[in-house]
A and B are shown apart, each in its own frame.
Chain A
């Protein structure tokens, strides 16, 4: 697509969409939303970039290798925190009994490891969305 209006509008819209997604992820434990919804919003902004500027430029920004690493890395952080719960308190994803600092109710830094889990899920969902789209458009036309 070589339309100057679409390109400039996309350049303006993408930072706002990504900031909104990051806001939803970081406030996941104290307000509606969370890792899945925020990650889907960030993934949609990356898909918009690929749609407007073409597959080659999209590959340069977020390659398949990078999306593989982000996908496996997000779920590895999740499992690692769960295993820390097993070691410290005897059950998967044990939070308060494993000694994570709880913080004050309503703050961003509260709820033990829940914000870290939300960030991990957000990374995983965002890279899953973009790699689903890339695999679909890389297929040969039937």
Chain B
């Protein structure tokens, strides 16, 4: 269980750093969605299934759809 926690936290830190660095905005939204999905698994390990359900529905579902809708109105690549 400790090894699983360490792997998940390393993945989360890598995702968060990559979201800041990446220039492709659609790639950033996909990375953010993966971050939310793994974060919901971490909430489940920490015995908060309530927060896990909300994180999976809001973080991975609705937020990324809203970001995609905004990106479709502007440009895909950051300058």
| Chain A residues within CB distance 8 Å of chain B | 24, 32-34, 36-37, 40-41, 43-44, 47, 51, 129, 132-133, 136-137, 139, 141-142
Contact A133 B65 (CB under 8 A): yes
Nearest B residue (CB) for A134: B69
Contact of A24 among B52, B53, B58, B70 (CB under 8 A): B53
The answer to whether the Cβ of B49 comes within 8 Å of any Cβ in the partner chain is: yes
Q: Which 8 A-B pairs have the closest CB atoms?
A: A32-B49, A40-B57, A32-B50, A136-B69, A37-B53, A44-B61, A37-B54, A41-B57
A40–B62 Cα distance when bound, in Å, is: 8
User: Is the CB–CB distance between A142 and B65 below 8 Å?
Assistant: no
Count A-B contacts at CB 8 Å: 43
Contact residues in B for A44 (Cβ distance below 8 Å): 57, 61-62, 65
Q: Do A129 and B62 have beta carbons less than 8 Å apart?
A: yes
Query: Which secondary structure characterizes the binding site on chain B?
Result: helix
User: In the assembly, what is the distance between CA of A32 and CA of B53, in Å?
Assistant: 8
Q: Which residues of B contact A37 (CB under 8 A)?
A: 50, 53-54, 57
Checking B52, B53, B66, B74 against A133 with a beta-carbon cut-off of 8 angstroms, the contacting residue is B66
Within the assembled complex, what's the spacing in Å between the Cα atoms of A43 and B63?
12
Q: Which among B49, B69, B73 has the highest number of chain A CB atoms within 10 Å?
A: B69
Q: Chain B contact residues (Cβ within 8 angstroms of A): what range?
A: 10 to 19
Q: Is the interface of A mostly helix, strand, loop or mixed?
A: helix
* Contact status of A33 and B50, CB under 8 A, knowing A40-B62, A136-B69: yes
Instruction: List, in ascending order, chain A residues with CB within 8 A of B58's CB.
Output: 40
- Taking A32-B49, A41-B61, A133-B65 as known contacts, 12 extra A-B pairs with beta carbons closer than 8 A to each other, sorted by chain A number, are A33-B50, A40-B54, A40-B58, A40-B61, A132-B66, A133-B69, A136-B66, A136-B73, A137-B69, A137-B72, A139-B73, A142-B73
Q: B57 near A47 (CB under 8 angstroms)?
A: no
